[in-house]
Amino acid sequence: MHRAARIEDWLHDRREHSARRRGYQPTVIPYTGYGSTAWVRILCRVLLAKPEKPSKRQKRPRADGRDAGIRGWRSFTSVPVNDVTVTIEIGGQTHRVQADRGGVVDTVVLVSLPAGWHAAQLHTESSAVVEAPLFIVAPTIGYGIVSDVDDTVMVTTLPRPLLAAWNTFVLDEHARVPTPGMAVFLERLASNTPGAPVIYLSTGAWNVAPTLSRFLSRNLYPAGALLLTDWGPTHDRWFRSGSAHKRDNLRRLAEQFPNMRWILIGDDGQHDEAIYSDFQRDYPGSVAAVAIRQLSPSEAVLAGGRSRDAVLIEGGPEAPWVYGPDGSSLANQLAEHGLL
């Protein structure tokens, strides 16, 4: 194991021991999963959390009626539980799986369920039962939607380190800005093919999943699964690769749904163009279209410039590539190709 990973494990063990001494209890944080009528992908994370006190005073609500803001840094002070057993109850079946080094469970369970929304019950030996939403895709669905998050559905200027730290650890989640027109664009795409899966694929950490879920819901984005990653060292390197995370999950989606064609949505501020181009080259029958949001000049400066990755495959009539500054422009162009 890489030295950085050993150091991280040692720190996790120390923090876990300290948290348990202070009475913290395991808590399962459920994430939205997806699947077919024969299997489901279950996603969750196990953390140590301070038991809630019934007499604890509630935060004072905002004057405009919204709930009190949640600072991003709080999501990163949680203590993951290593190698804990999580019990999954779904479709009358019970399965037990192990969480990984970061407390994350990402597993596929074989179960027969009808298409639509369902819920799996998750718990550890000493935690309360929670429900994880699951979207089951019917075998007749031919289209799906994969969307990047940062600078695609949410204006974050994430690539610039100082602003990324501010957005992640300090900024009130209500101050995050949705990208103009993107919520309507994605909702139109989802409504155009009822039952189509919506996947939000991001290089963000699982720590921010609850914040992102609330942001997407509050800004009326269609419900879907979040595929995030776990920050920090791996067994063989100092840091995880965000590009590899996206490539691996796209490949996994193509293999899980071999008859589905995906509409891929991203931006030109990072590596989405190259990632989607490589995916189209490797799985040409799995791409229906690629929609790239063009950053404004000021956004491009804050994002560290526009992507200079070469697109290896030109969009054709069967899988067009469209570019635009906002959701409205992208929607109009896909409508011209009969995809809206």
CA 85 to chain centre: 23
Q: Clarify whether residues 160 and 178 are in a common domain.
A: yes
Residues 132 and 162 in one domain: no
Number of domains making up the chain: 2
Q: How far apart are CA 82 and CA 209, in angstroms?
A: 19
Q: Is residue 130 part of a domain?
A: yes
The residues, any chain, with a CB within 8 Å of residue 115's CB and separated by 6 or more, are 37, 136, 137, 138, 141, 195
CATH assignment at residue 35: 2.60.40
Per-residue pLDDT tens over the stretch 256-285: 999 999 999 999 887 899 999 999 999 999
Q: Which two tokens stand for residue 24?
A: 């913290």
Distance CA 245, CA 125 (A): 31
Query: Can you tell me the distance from the alpha carbon of 309 to that of 42, in angstroms, rounded to the nearest whole number?
Result: 33
Ramachandran angles phi, psi of 257, nearest 5°: -125, 75
In this structure, are 213 and 85 located in the same domain?
Answer: no
Query: Domain boundary at 136, 163, 186, which?
Result: 136
Residues 6+ apart with CB under 8 A from 289: 263, 264, 315, 319, 320, 321, 322, 334, 337, 339
> Dihedral of CA 250/134/183/316: which sign?
positive
CA distance 309 to 320: 18
Same domain for 215 and 249 = yes
Taking a C-beta distance cutoff of 8 angstroms, is the pair 46, 26 a contact? yes
Q: Give, as one character, the DSSP assignment of residue 37.
A: S
Considering only the C-alpha atoms of the chain, give the largest distance between any 2 of them, rounded to a whole number of Å: 63
Q: What is the CATH number of the domain that holds 321?
A: 3.40.50.1000
Q: Kindly state whether residues 117 and 160 are assigned to the same domain.
A: no
Structural domain contains residue 61 = no
For residue 291, give both structure tokens. 């929609």
Establish if 260 belongs to a structural domain. Answer: yes
Q: What is the pLDDT along the chain (340 residues), one digit of tens a residue?
A: 556 556 656 566 666 666 666 667 888 999 999 999 999 999 999 988 776 665 544 444 333 333 434 445 555 667 888 778 999 999 999 999 999 888 899 999 999 999 999 999 999 988 899 999 999 999 999 999 999 998 899 886 555 555 555 555 655 666 678 999 999 999 999 999 999 999 999 988 888 888 889 999 999 999 999 999 876 544 444 445 678 999 999 999 999 999 999 999 999 887 899 999 999 999 999 999 999 999 876 565 555 545 555 454 555 557 999 999 999 999 999 999 999 8
**pLDDT number for residue 103:** 87
Domain termination site, one of 94, 116, 136 = 136
Same domain? For 123 and 222 the reply is no
Domain span including residue 108:
3-16+24-55+70-136
**Same domain (yes/no): 307, 230:** yes
- Structure tokens given for 258: 């071999």
Of 87, 114, 136, the last residue of a domain is 136
Residues 193 and 97 in one domain: no
Phi, psi of 54 (to 5 degrees): -55, -30
Structure tokens at 311: 């697109």
Averaged pLDDT of the chain:
81
Q: Give every CB contact of residue 5 below 8 A, 6+ residues apart in sequence.
A: 101, 233, 234, 235
Q: Based on the domain organization, do 160 and 239 belong to the same domain?
A: yes
Question: Do 108 and 116 form a contact (C-beta atoms < 8 A)?
Answer: no
Whose structure tokens read 């590009």?
243
pLDDT in the model for residue 59: 46
pLDDT in tens, 44-81: 999 887 766 655 444 443 333 334 344 455 556 678 88
Looking at the fold, whether 108 and 130 belong to one and the same domain comes out as yes
